[in-house]
Structure 1
Amino acid sequence: MAQYTRVSSGTVAVITLQNPPVNALSAAVRQGIVDTVQRALSDSNVKSVVICGKNGKFCGGADIKEFAGPMSGPELVPMIHAIEAGDKPVVAAIEGMAFGGGLELALGCHYRIAHSKARLGLPEVTLGLLPAAGGSQRLPRLIGVPAALELITTGRHVTAAEALKLGIVDQVVDENTLQVAVKFALSVAGKSVDGHRRLSTRPCPAPPDLDALIEGAMQRVHRSSRGAVAPIACIQAVTAAATLPYSEGMERERELMATLFNSDQARALQYCFFAQRTVGRWRMPSGAHWDTSKPVPVRKAAVIGLGTMGRGIAVALAQTGISVVAVETQQQLAEAKQTVTDMLERGAQRRGVAAPLDLVQYSPDLKAVADVDLVIEAVFEDMTLKEKLFQQLSAVCKPGTLLCTNTSGLDVDRLASRTSRPELVVGMHFFAPAHVMKLLEVVYGPRSCPSAVATAMHLGKRMGKVSVAVGNCPGFVGNRMLKPYLEQANFLLEEGATPELVDQVLEEFGMAMGVFRMSDLSGLDVGWRIRKQDGQTGPGVAPGQPMRVRQGRRYSPLADLICEQGWFGQKTGRGWYDYDGPGGRTARSDPRLHRFLEEYRAQHGLVTRSIDPQEVLERCFYTLINEGFRILEDGIAAGPEDIDAIYVFGYGWPRHRGGPMFYASMVGLAAVLERLEHYHQVHQDVPYLEPSSLLRRLVANGSPPIQKWKEIIKGLHSQL
């Protein structure tokens, strides 16, 4: 797994890592490195060494699959120490990537030469870990504490050019990296590698304001990590590099890694890593894979409707290099064009490239989409309007054009039935802002053909999205689960909670935003409009029943009532919170909202009680999780990984808690079941609190680990 050759008359040993696709540091690769390095150091003819990777990739880091079991083979730390301690110069020839343990291996070498297209980084923090093969100790000694803190606590990748500027690499080349490295190795053959070339012997350049720097870093990670412990451990490890001798710093690095390695957060983050891969290999809930179906090439696409979502979708397509026909009414076209242009120019400036303005054509005429390969409809969320549009698209577009809808929950099958090509209709549910958010729900119906789904999934991947294939039902996966979550939050307000309490509990758990702050940001009028379309608002109650009960099922009209007062959230300057006028961003407690809640409770005879934070978590999250189990029962999602990916990448669920279904497995399914049964007994007018049959079955089967759920789900489907 590490090939050994000699070049330049046998004076340069070349060690090539071989473990496709990214030359991960598996046990076999580590053993190969140990053996070949020892061979090179003991060969009197060899004067210098070059380490490279096969197929244009240096090393992607550790083999994460090995984390699940007992580690075997040589350890990384002594292996890298042996390279650094050797008396012959060792040059790392970095192509493709040097991530994690791969970069730590390069830091153990005495020189580093990188190809201009290579990327480098220490992303261990994203897996709930820290760089524990000397990375937290060597990197600060090489580039200084501030830069090392930023890279290690964020896991950010840097380009070769930035790596050169920071001082991580000694040289960046455009030509054959290995040839340059061999030539360089010849030039340093016989030179001493004592002193600065052995990073472990360098003093760490600690800044005079170290305490303030560390305190500032701690404050930043507390704000950004939402309860994740790995970034804090990373700061502690870098602090050790700045304040302790190298050997003691390494011991501190080892201790910190030991606390992280088997933690629940590390397990959750590594589960997220593999879940993202799993959803990319999309499949039907029955287990049959569709990913063998070939996608149709998409060279030209159309976006119908240039509101907020349509503009973002058009930008995302153009940034991918796809020609776009953007259609909007004549009255709105000029403004929409200017906004899309501005978005493309800002994005290009951030990435340091030219804005792809020439890829977007604008038209008020639907006939302009006649020759495109794929259409994404992004008009107003109104079924009648969308049905009419799909009838028109079916007549205008060439045969074979895929017709996609960006609906957040309307019936995709119903739209398909309005066309002459129902097999080519799928949902592409983007999340706002569409050119930024990572999630894409690809919605298939019973008539969707595999190639259509494959095309939408592949297009999402090209756009940098985490694409998840889901079945068609109201709300699909994400919004279907969100509905009971939102309802429970409103019920808690009726019973005595405040928006501030609910949001604080959810945000301390790690959610990107509490439910009421999120509603204010999205606009309360959006949900109100949908509820009115669905007939959920208005009187509609049986005589003698309180307003809050409809057809025997509890319903909270709180959100409807504040919308009736024109409080739509940030856009109007008031919603669940008060803001500094329309468009304000800073949420403040609103005494008028509190008085409104008190009057509402008095009007309906609701006795205010103290709400415990644990009840907030259980009522909101366990109902959401219970709906997730129902989605798995119904075959809308293929597995728990699909649900968890949707919530992590689309709904602000904290990665270090793995997603709602993984969180349920960590809490314990029996505990979730018991609390749902309790709340259903107390609130019998809330049907979705009744535990799902799948949850009951999993508990009856001993609450197996989440990786085993699919077997039980298959058994449940076979009985239906």
Structure 2
Amino acid sequence: MLNMNRPNDVEAYIARAEADAVKIPGLENVRPRGIASAGVIGGGTMGRGIATALLCAEIPVTLIERDPATLERAIAEITSIIERNVTTRRMSADEAARAIKHLTTANEIEALEKSDLVIEAAYETMAVKQDIFSRLDRIARKGAILASNTSYLDVLEIASSTSRPQDVLGMHFFSPAHIMKLLEVVRTSATAPDALATAISVGLRIGKKPVVAGNAYGFIGNRMLAIRRHEAEAIILEGVTPDRVDQVVENFGFRMGPFRMGDLAGLDLGWTRDTSTGATVRERLCEAGRRGQKTGKGFFDYDDQRKPVVSPEAMDIIAGLAADKGIARREWSDDSILDRMVLPMIDEAAKILAEGIAARESDIDVVWLHGYNWPRHTGGPMHYARTLGLDTICARLKAMGRTPSDQLRKLLAAPQERQ
């Protein structure tokens, strides 16, 4: 048995977890489809990153973007990243020249009619994605893999807009997509085995750590992240400041706490003024024009170097919502803050396993290590849970007023299994 407290054993566990993640039952004798070219739909941050990752692996890319200014920025950014790879010796000058030469751009998706793989990285709404996939269905060649980079949406519902759901799956990259190692490959009940094998193969080819996830809201990583976000936004109404939460989480080993991360991503993702009710901290911040780093203010204020500083205005908004909701504010220890940020996520992970959304505990660890920068020295959330033990986790959940789920109790009461 691995000693969870020794660094070498933790590294051995992670290496084994990464190897196990691509061992998918039923795919042992399945041959991936050939991928000689790819299309990427969307020239925004994610589309640019995905295109760059493919190009750096010598996969020719056709990038589709309707807006001329966005397309121009995308070409400049992709070229700049590849050229920097030469400076940092990640690529040779010849490799970089070939990568840049392999980039083709167009304004309409009809240019993707010969692509072997198409990855959609457009606006995160079902209507937009279904429209794109319906159009792809009409023009893409037979046998092409049609992938969505959706972060949360139902991939089978996206696939329903096509006549070929067997060729549709999720390829969820993490920003910046040319750097972050995780690739969540989302299989639906209709996804063909060789389509799944192809997505995994492409992920490995471009240097990612693929993990197969079932088709459920948020898949593996973002479903757990939603729990942490809920807890984080609840605890600041109960007396903990955003800067202290971030400091505790970063002291645990994360590179960035939930509130700095939220500000970086943008607080208005999924928010509109027309539908805002002012019922959450995020809604009230957005209503006040505090939408994250891009507006210079969110949970924090930001200077010209984007350094976060505590914001009196944000603190007043938080205190006002707490008062409106009648939430009592109290003192918190650092340990209790950390438990609130981590243990409910672990409980949710046990449900993800029980539902078959993740195949094994270690897959969840790979997701969080490579997609969310979970502190490596702990081995990942499930490895950390095994280190703490069932009794400790249950006691701490009860201390925060939570009832440990039956799925968590059952999982941690049994020895960890490999599949």
State the Cα deviation string for residues 632-663 of structure 1 (Å, max 9, x = none): 01000000011000000000101110110111
- SS at the partner of 1:276? helix
Q: Does the alignment pair 1:632 with 2:353?
A: yes
Task: Tell me how far apart the structure 2 counterparts of residues 275 and 269 of structure 1 sit (CA, whole Å).
Answer: 10
Distance apart, 1:596 and its partner CA: 2.7
Alpha-carbon shift at residue 330 of structure 1 (Å): 4.7
Please state if 1:465 is matched with 2:202: no
Query: What is the one-letter code of the residue matched to 1:515?
Result: P
Task: Evaluate the alpha carbon distance shift between residue 514 and residue 527 of structure 1 in structure 2; reply closer, same or farther with a 3 A threshold.
Answer: farther
So what's the TM-score if we normalise by structure 2? 0.94
Paired residue for 1:357? 100
Mapping 1:266-665, distance limit 5 Å: 266-281=8-23, 283=24, 288-331=25-68, 332-350=70-88, 351-354=90-93, 355=96, 356-528=99-271, 537-538=276-277, 557-581=280-304, 584-665=305-386
**Aligned ranges for residues 83-94 of structure 1 at < 5 Å?**
none
Q: Per-residue deviation at 1:447?
A: 0.4
Distance 1:501 1:366 in 2: 47
Alpha-carbon shift at residue 527 of structure 1 (Å)? 5.0
Contact 2:4 2:383 in 1 (8 A): no
Gap regions ≥5 residues in structure 2 = none
- Residue identity over aligned pairs, in percent, reads 40
Code of the residue aligned with 2:389 in structure 1: it is G
Cα 1:565–1:310 change in 2 (3 A) is same
Counterpart-to-counterpart distance in 1, 2:42 and 2:318: 39
**8 Å Cα contact 1:266-1:656 kept in structure 2:** no
Question: Shift of the alpha carbon at 1:268?
Answer: 2.6
Question: For the residues of structure 2 that align with 1:499 and 1:333, how far apart are their CA atoms?
Answer: 37
Check conservation: 2:211, 2:363, Cα contact below 8 A.
Answer: yes
The alpha-carbon deviation at position 333 of structure 1 amounts to 2.6
Query: What secondary structure sits across from 1:293 in the alignment?
Result: coil
Deviations along 1:5-50, whole A, 9 cap, x unmatched? Answer: xxxxxxxxxxxxxxxxxxxxxxxxxxxxxxxxxxxxxxxxxxxxxx
Taking structure 1 as the reference length, what is the TM-score of the superposition? Answer: 0.55
Q: Size of the alignment, in residue pairs?
A: 413
The question of whether the paired residues in 2 share the 8 Å contact of 1:665 and 1:705 is answered with no
Counting only pairs closer than 5 Å after superposition, residues 126-205 of structure 1 correspond to structure 2 as none
1:667 corresponds to 2:399: no
The 2-side partners of 1:620 and 1:330 are apart by 40
RMSD: 2.0
Tell whether the 8 Å contact from 2:281 to 2:317 is kept in structure 1 after alignment.
no
Gaps of 5+ in 1: 1-67, 70-260, 540-546, 548-556, 683-688, 711-720
Report deviation, 1:458: 0.4
Q: Which amino acid in 1 is paired with 2:79? A: T
Q: Aligned partners of 2:248 and 2:173: how far apart in 1?
A: 28
Letter in 1 for 2:372: Y
Query: Aligned with 1:642: secondary structure?
Result: helix
Q: What CA distance in whole angstroms lies between the structure 2 residues aligned with 1:690 and 1:526?
A: 31
- State the one-letter code of the partner of 2:409: R
What secondary structure, in the 3-state scheme, does the structure 1 residue paired with 2:271 have? helix
**Relative to 1, partners in 2 of residues 1:374 and 1:633: Cα closer, same or farther, differing over 3 Å?**
same
Change (3 A) 1:527 1:676: farther
Per-residue deviation at 1:693?
2.0
Asked if the contact 1:577–1:593 (Cα under 8 Å) also holds between the matched residues in 2, the reply is yes
| Distance apart, 1:345 and its partner CA | 1.9
Provide the C-alpha distance between the structure 2 equivalents of 1:278 and 1:302, rounded to a whole number of angstroms. 29
How far did residue 501 of structure 1 move? Answer: 1.3
